[in-house]
Structure 1
Amino acid sequence: MADGWGVTRADVIAEGSAPLRARWAWVHVAVGLVLVTIYCAGPVWVQAPAMVLAMLTGMASLYVGPNRNLARSDRRPFQMIRVAGWLFIVATAIRAAVPSTMNTPPTAVALIPNSFIVPAYLCLGYAFLVMLRRRRADDDDPARVDAVLVGLAAAFVTWTFVISPAVQSSNLSGYQVLDALFPIIDVVILILVAQLMLAGGVQQAALWLMITAAACMFVGDLLFSLRDAQLIDISPTPSNAAFLLMFVLIPASALHPSTRTLVQPQKIVVRDMSRLRMTVIGLVVVVPTIVTSLMPLGSLFNDLIRAGLCAMIVLSVLGRVVRSNNSRVKAERMTRRRATHDALTDLPNREMLSETVAAWADRATGEHLEISLLFIDLDRFKMINDHWGPEVGDELLCAVAGRLGEQVRAQDVVARIGGDEFVIALASASHLRLAESLADRLLDEFAKPFTLSVGEVVVSASIGVAKSTGGAHALELIRDADTAMYKAKGSGRNAYALFDTSLREQVRDRVKLEQALRGALERGELAVHFQPIVDIAADELDGFEALMRWNSPELGFVSPVEFIPIAEETGMIVEMGAWMLRESVQQLQQWLDVRGPDARPLHVSVNVAVRQLRDGSLVTLVDDVLRDTGLPPQALWLEITESGVMEDIEAALLTLNALHSLGVTLCIDDFGTGYSSLSYLHRLPVGIVKIDRSFINDVGETGTNEPIVRAVLAMTHAMGHRVVAEGVETELQRNWLRDQGCDLVQGWFYGKAERPENLTSWIERPVAA
């Protein structure tokens, strides 16, 4: 489980220990504040022990916190902070052991502890820099500029009230001036910490503890410098207390579980400038200007430094304004591009395509242009997504986009308008036939494999071509090209088709048919008819195939050849198929009850559409229907087309094996019309193979299909499957199939599909015709 900072506990637990709870950080803060208070207000004899205990407690927390809260690779900044901590402790020990290092004014002896303090500051600065680089997910120019503004303002104040008075005093030694420069180091660290705060991302307790610690360090050094420069007369206690607070707050930040947000990239959230941020920037600009105006002139060097700092502040504000304006313009451009271009391939999208075609249409008549659109749809793209995953699918789409772009002229437009659909728009003289030649060229290009991360992948395309001399609206032209593409796909894929007005009529009829089909089930317009399936050897009824029929009050009887594909495409087949399965099983159970337990068992064969096969609820549906009706599982046959299985055989096998485990019988329908892959047939848990009617037409007449039927019978029997021959219409066909050892037959020779009430004679007599 991920916590509030987007990091899984496994990232830390994998290293052997769970992250600390937040309460340990606050316990550390409470104990530290007590020790600091004792140091400031307690008796003299307890001050030193309180300081030592606060430092050692802080160092212990700097080891425990990162080791418990951070992965090993994220601990680098805190390792540098620990180095800085030990250097500070060494410097403090030297000052305690050699009191002369704390004399005011300072002497040369003060250089000894300072030689440890300067590297400590460098370690701290490096730690904050690493945190900033790791935390910031991308560049955030406003945060950088605002942090520099804060630093420049701090530098101005430090120079004006600390360094400049120290430099101008004739009584100051070089060591005092050196101590006065320490706040400049704090200014640099302050800039880094300000960026941590301003650069976006989550602002949790660890960040605020770190920011407060940096502020305490700045205050402590400022008081120390003012005291050494003899500009204020105070004891070392306040500056030491601020220094001790740093030893309390930075370790507390390491103990808090949100310390992970300091060393891991944060999502930048762009917001409008807050009032607080605007107020701070205003003060940064106004205060130095007012101070410079009010303070009397001093030495030329001092005035130049102050003027230079003021100028840098003004220029930084100007730079912020310019960058903000440029960022706004860039954001507007990006927004516009996102609105008009596809995010994956960076090709123009449907909106941009429509605008371009509309602009061409305005010029078409006057310039005698013909506008052509090629609507390109990848064949069986879903198989690639299902087999290798969407990442490889995206790879393929980008590769297709690149290859399409290589085949067009500079003035042509290649667009992706959704999914695996691309459109190429051309404008040319009508006699050039550019669209047809480009379509041929594209089909040749798609025959070449695409090199992807999983290897070489071949995918074909169906292309629809539509043309206009300027009269058609852009969306109408896209729709016409889309219609032509479906014509190409319907004619076998890997081809192109030209749009004509008859296709528009077909589309209109299809839309009308689809609208009428919606709700047909609820209105009771659908019915199940049953066609007998006969045991050819015994000439006895073996079962029925259930077939869906639709009688529309508006359209009359609609052929399944017309409405089943529409139901498949729209997904309505899932609900319709579930209804037919339940109706068929219930009807068979009624017939079995009529025939009695001593009669020959019957089966019902129900077609399963490809959409149903892919639907995860099919197995549950079948199981529920069998349980509700009490029908023996072996009495239910489920027919699947071989083409539907082969589109994604691995996914289909999962569903088929689950169905087989329920005890139902699986049939391969229309065998021979699809992939005709006997090499795959042995992998499928089927018990029945149905030979398509197109192979039965001329058997018994020394027809050309007789060797094929013999081969199918021999091979399927060798695999242990039974065979049903469809479309048997003559006695000659029936006799030939019986002689070849075919198991079952169905067709008009025995009867067409009828309503249940018209099949009473079949139920009452076990022997057929």
Structure 2
Amino acid sequence: MTPVLASARTDAERSAPAAAQGSSLRRSRSVAWRLVVAAVLVPAVLPMVPAPLQALLSVTAVLSGVASIWYAARTATPEGQVPLRHLYLAGLLIVAGMVLRTVLVGDDRSPPTTVSLPLDGVVIAGYLLAAYAAARILLQRRADPEDPAWIDAVLVGATFACMAWTFVVAPAIERTGQPAVQFANAFFPIVDVVLLALVAQLGLAGGHRAPSFWTALLGTASLFAGDLLYLIGDGALAGVPADLVLSLHTAALLLLGAAALHPSRRMLVTPQQRLVRKISKRRMLAIMLTLLIPVVVATLQPPQGSLDKNVRGVLVLVLVTVVLFRVAWSSNSRARAEDSIRRRATHDALTDLPNRGLLQDTITTWGDQATAGQQEISLLFIDLDRFKMINDHWGHQVGDELLCAVATRLSSHVRSSDLVCRIGGDEFVIALSSPSHSILAESVAGRVLDLFGRPFALSVGDVVVSASIGVAKASGGSEAVELIRDADTAMYQAKESGRNTWALFDTSLRDRLHDRITLEQALRGALRRGELYATYQPIIDLASGELDGFETLMRWEHPELGAIPPLRFIPVAEETGMIVEAGAWLLREAAGRLAQWRAERGPEAHPLHMSVNVSVRQLRDRKLVAVVRDVLASTGLPPSALWLEITESGVMEDIDTALSTLNALHDLGVVLAIDDFGTGYSSLSYLNRLPVGIVKLDRSFVSDVGRQGANEQIVRAVLAMTSALDLRVVAEGVETEAQRDWLREQGCDLAQGWLFGKPQRAEDTRMVSAKTGPE
């Protein structure tokens, strides 16, 4: 089979389930509408056919409705299967009871007998099961536990029960003298009222009213009408044709089957987001009318006898109870809503921990107490190390899992009087109050670090993350904002100290923070103002002694602050992201300068290369490959003339992202170099995975070679290892002829350092060699 045919077959196999599902939904929709049409036509036809054929047609129709419910239960989503199965069993019981009553008792209801009571019990069980199924559907659909619609539905049901008793059941008992039979018959319309109230709640609760809702409402109404007419006829209150009752029952089961089968049934079990909390004028009017009906009924139709009076009393008591419950529910719901609003204002939505606002209020309260009681307030500002990598690697959902797990672990390991807060993305604060001059905060900081030593069990497996903690203290009188700021400053000191540690705030940290902010503000716009410039340091081929290329280094000259060392401003540029723009500028500047020098030297001279440092932030920037491609295209340089230097630590922070970018750069043809080799992870397995061609040996290993220094054996091992991997080596920091000669003897390929020239501006750069040194 050809790859094209195999691919086409795979696509067809993938699309097959989706196509089958779409076909099934269309078929269900078509059958559901046919059942609706049948619910209209069959009742119209029943009175026109003979009695035996009436029974056969009715049984066939109702069984079709029940079968539709069974099929819907089989194909429904998991949340809809259980209530539909109950509805299916309810349909079987109702049909079985009706058929048995027709066969064993007959349609003649004058006079009614007690023979039908056991058969009515079968139907009653079906009705109760149907009510349970409707209640299950409503529980799944309800958008919020505070939804009051079900209480209003109960009010409607109680009012209908009162009407049914007064005008139907009580007169029927009086006419027939058979309370047991009439009570049993009255059960059907009363349960129908309950069903109507439950279905009506779908409308009262809001949300999308799909075709399944309307067909279920019409089916329940038809069932209620049929049962009510049956009760009227059985109670000898009026003449009711038997075929009319049969038609209504048939239509009811057909409509309920259509409601269960139509694809929109999913909306009946899907939680709705619309929630009615404020009672509208129309809804208030409906509730008032519902409450007035029993009063009007009692006025127009006074109770007859003790049974009638007692039943009416019970029904009125139910109505009053429901009204009182509705008032209490509304009041409690409003109070709960206000509590929820207050909690949302003072607590974090994700972790449910107190937020920054509540932390500031608590510090202010504690501050007043601390001044009077010699108490000390301490804050532990906790920041998760490299949390962004968690989000980038596994997604924000896993990141949220980790934040919740951290919140739970911190909360379970502090005193009840302490406060654990989340005040930012991955920033937590523990607030403590203790006697002055205690070391409680330092002790808690150490324990928190130990807590992070254990992995967090997340959906993706066990995840280990460290934390950096800043500790700040105050003896009262300090502003909450200042104390939080001081703890935040100490946390940054912990970050700079290597992470996974804690640092105690002192005033010198505040001065350092001020200097850093000043430096950051000055750095913004430095490139635009022309304060950044490039310097070039020569790289020599030790074997031939000829100039092989240059490393370009970024420098900053501020008009007021003067020359800013790279070790000061590069980390700031890296952290703020300004290094991405500045690094792209340096790359273009250096490549353009190299193209100019190569043109000036002519084609017969040794072709020079240019080495440019690439930061961690640049490696993570997806535009880096495009920038390099554009630089090569605009300068006309061959890709092999451009070397890009990366650090071991920068690669290892996110090896997967780094490998993706490095492989793309390698595909362009540029040469990749590992800078400061030996000072980072120095993993040979990782080095073998990286598409690098150059290893730059850090100056700390070169400084004592050539005079039997301790690092000579290490350098020899590195040279042997790189030779085996077919990598070239550049020795950094070569400052003496003895170092140069020793490295040449050991087979080192290239070298750079002050022996050959310092980093200088382009106009001050001279062509040098290993033999003559700077010209």
Q: 1:3: which partner in 2? A: none
Q: Secondary structure at the match of 2:25?
A: coil
- Counterpart CA distance in 2 for 1:113 and 1:491 is 84
Provide Cα deviations, 1:228-285, integer angstroms capped at 9, x if missing partner: 2222334345444433331342232233211122345555745433444333322222
Provide Cα deviations, 1:676-695, integer angstroms capped at 9, x if missing partner: 33342222221111122233
- Counterpart CA distance in 2 for 1:193 and 1:139 is 18
Q: 2:359: which partner in 1? A: 353
Q: 2:631: which partner in 1? A: 625
Q: 1:231: which partner in 2? A: 237
Q: 1:550: which partner in 2? A: 556
Q: 1:425: which partner in 2? A: 431
Q: Is this contact kept in 2: 1:128–1:193, CA < 8 A?
A: yes
Q: Is this contact kept in 1: 2:370–2:475, CA < 8 A?
A: yes
Equivalences, count: 759
Q: Secondary structure at the match of 1:227?
A: helix
Q: Is this contact kept in 2: 1:606–1:638, CA < 8 A?
A: yes
Q: Secondary structure at the match of 1:411?
A: coil
Q: 2:174: which partner in 1? A: 168
Does structure 1 residue 472 correspond to structure 2 residue 457?
no
Amino acid at match of 1:686: V
Q: 2:582: which partner in 1? A: 576
Alignment CA distance shift 1:578-1:654 (3 Å): same
Using the TM superposition, name which of 158-167 and 423-432 deviates more: 423-432
- Counterpart CA distance in 1 for 2:522 and 2:475 is 35
The alpha carbon displacement at 1:609 in A equals 1.2
Q: Secondary structure at the match of 1:749?
A: coil
Q: 2:370: which partner in 1? A: 364
The alpha carbon displacement at 1:163 in A equals 1.0
Does structure 1 residue 435 correspond to structure 2 residue 441?
yes
Q: 2:750: which partner in 1? A: 744
- Counterpart CA distance in 2 for 1:83 and 1:599 is 94
Q: Secondary structure at the match of 1:682?
A: helix
Alignment CA distance shift 1:433-1:315 (3 Å): same
Q: Is this contact kept in 2: 1:540–1:767, CA < 8 A?
A: no
Match of 2:762 among 737, 756, 761: 756
Alignment CA distance shift 1:62-1:459 (3 Å): closer
Q: Secondary structure at the match of 2:527?
A: coil
Q: Secondary structure at the match of 2:533?
A: strand
Q: Secondary structure at the match of 1:346?
A: coil
Using the TM superposition, name which of 742-751 and 195-204 deviates more: 195-204
Q: Secondary structure at the match of 1:419?
A: coil
- Counterpart CA distance in 2 for 1:31 and 1:552 is 88
Q: Is this contact kept in 2: 1:216–1:243, CA < 8 A?
A: yes
- Counterpart CA distance in 2 for 1:572 and 1:16 is 52
Q: 1:721: which partner in 2? A: 727
Q: Is this contact kept in 1: 2:120–2:184, CA < 8 A?
A: no
Amino acid at match of 1:687: G
Provide Cα deviations, 1:566-610, integer angstroms capped at 9, x if missing partner: 121112222222232233333333333444444322222221111
Alignment CA distance shift 1:225-1:473 (3 Å): same
Q: 2:517: which partner in 1? A: 511
Using the TM superposition, name which of 137-146 and 306-315 deviates more: 137-146
- Counterpart CA distance in 2 for 1:278 and 1:11 is 49
- Counterpart CA distance in 2 for 1:408 and 1:398 is 16
Q: 1:33: which partner in 2? A: 40
Does structure 1 residue 614 correspond to structure 2 residue 620?
yes
Alignment CA distance shift 1:676-1:210 (3 Å): same
Q: Is this contact kept in 1: 2:215–2:259, CA < 8 A?
A: yes
Structure 2 unmatched ranges of 5 or more: 1-14
- Counterpart CA distance in 1 for 2:493 and 2:600 is 49
Q: 2:686: which partner in 1? A: 680
The alpha carbon displacement at 1:415 in A equals 2.1
The alpha carbon displacement at 1:56 in A equals 6.1
Q: Secondary structure at the match of 2:606?
A: coil
Amino acid at match of 1:317: V
- Counterpart CA distance in 1 for 2:487 and 2:635 is 49
- Counterpart CA distance in 1 for 2:320 and 2:255 is 34
The alpha carbon displacement at 1:159 in A equals 1.0
Alignment CA distance shift 1:10-1:397 (3 Å): farther
The alpha carbon displacement at 1:218 in A equals 1.1
- Counterpart CA distance in 2 for 1:442 and 1:700 is 48
Kindly, what percent of the aligned residue pairs are identical? Answer: 55
Amino acid at match of 1:648: D
- Superposed counterparts of 1:240-389, under 5 Å: 240-267=246-273, 269=275, 271-386=277-392
Provide Cα deviations, 1:141-193, integer angstroms capped at 9, x if missing partner: 62332222222112111111111111233566854554333212213323433
- Counterpart CA distance in 2 for 1:363 and 1:544 is 65
Q: Is this contact kept in 2: 1:363–1:369, CA < 8 A?
A: yes
- Counterpart CA distance in 2 for 1:529 and 1:104 is 113
Q: Secondary structure at the match of 2:690?
A: coil
Provide Cα deviations, 1:516-558, integer angstroms capped at 9, x if missing partner: 2223333443333322222122122222222223333453433
Match of 1:127 among 122, 133, 137: 133
Q: Is this contact kept in 1: 2:536–2:553, CA < 8 A?
A: yes
- Counterpart CA distance in 1 for 2:693 and 2:644 is 10
* TM-score normalised by the chain length of structure 1: 0.88
Q: Is this contact kept in 2: 1:172–1:229, CA < 8 A?
A: no
Does structure 1 residue 566 correspond to structure 2 residue 567?
no
- Superposed counterparts of 1:476-515, under 5 Å: 476-515=482-521
Q: 1:6: which partner in 2? A: none
Match of 1:146 among 132, 145, 152: 152
Amino acid at match of 1:338: R
Amino acid at match of 1:29: V
Amino acid at match of 1:473: E
Does structure 1 residue 670 correspond to structure 2 residue 676?
yes
- Counterpart CA distance in 1 for 2:409 and 2:121 is 65
Q: Is this contact kept in 2: 1:537–1:743, CA < 8 A?
A: yes
- Counterpart CA distance in 2 for 1:456 and 1:121 is 51
The alpha carbon displacement at 1:474 in A equals 0.7
Alignment CA distance shift 1:394-1:719 (3 Å): same
Using the TM superposition, name which of 142-151 and 109-118 deviates more: 109-118
Q: Is this contact kept in 2: 1:689–1:723, CA < 8 A?
A: yes
Q: Is this contact kept in 1: 2:490–2:503, CA < 8 A?
A: yes
Q: 1:214: which partner in 2? A: 220
- Counterpart CA distance in 2 for 1:10 and 1:559 is 64
Q: 1:536: which partner in 2? A: 542
Does structure 1 residue 733 correspond to structure 2 residue 739?
yes
Amino acid at match of 1:740: Q
Q: Secondary structure at the match of 1:289?
A: helix
The alpha carbon displacement at 1:54 in A equals 5.0
Q: Is this contact kept in 2: 1:12–1:19, CA < 8 A?
A: no
Using the TM superposition, name which of 682-691 and 620-629 deviates more: 620-629
Q: Secondary structure at the match of 1:169?
A: helix
Using the TM superposition, name which of 23-32 and 427-436 deviates more: 23-32
Q: Secondary structure at the match of 1:19?
A: helix
Provide Cα deviations, 1:703-760, integer angstroms capped at 9, x if missing partner: 3333332222222222221111122233332222222221111222222233334336
RMSD of Structure 2 on Structure 1 (CA): 3.6
- Counterpart CA distance in 1 for 2:320 and 2:655 is 69
Q: Is this contact kept in 2: 1:128–1:189, CA < 8 A?
A: yes
Q: Secondary structure at the match of 1:432?
A: coil
Using the TM superposition, name which of 188-197 and 657-666 deviates more: 188-197
The alpha carbon displacement at 1:482 in A equals 1.0
Alignment CA distance shift 1:115-1:509 (3 Å): closer
Provide Cα deviations, 1:645-686, integer angstroms capped at 9, x if missing partner: 112223322222232222222111112222233342222221
Q: Is this contact kept in 1: 2:216–2:256, CA < 8 A?
A: yes
Using the TM superposition, name which of 91-100 and 288-297 deviates more: 91-100
Q: Is this contact kept in 2: 1:84–1:119, CA < 8 A?
A: yes
* TM-score normalised by the chain length of structure 2: 0.87
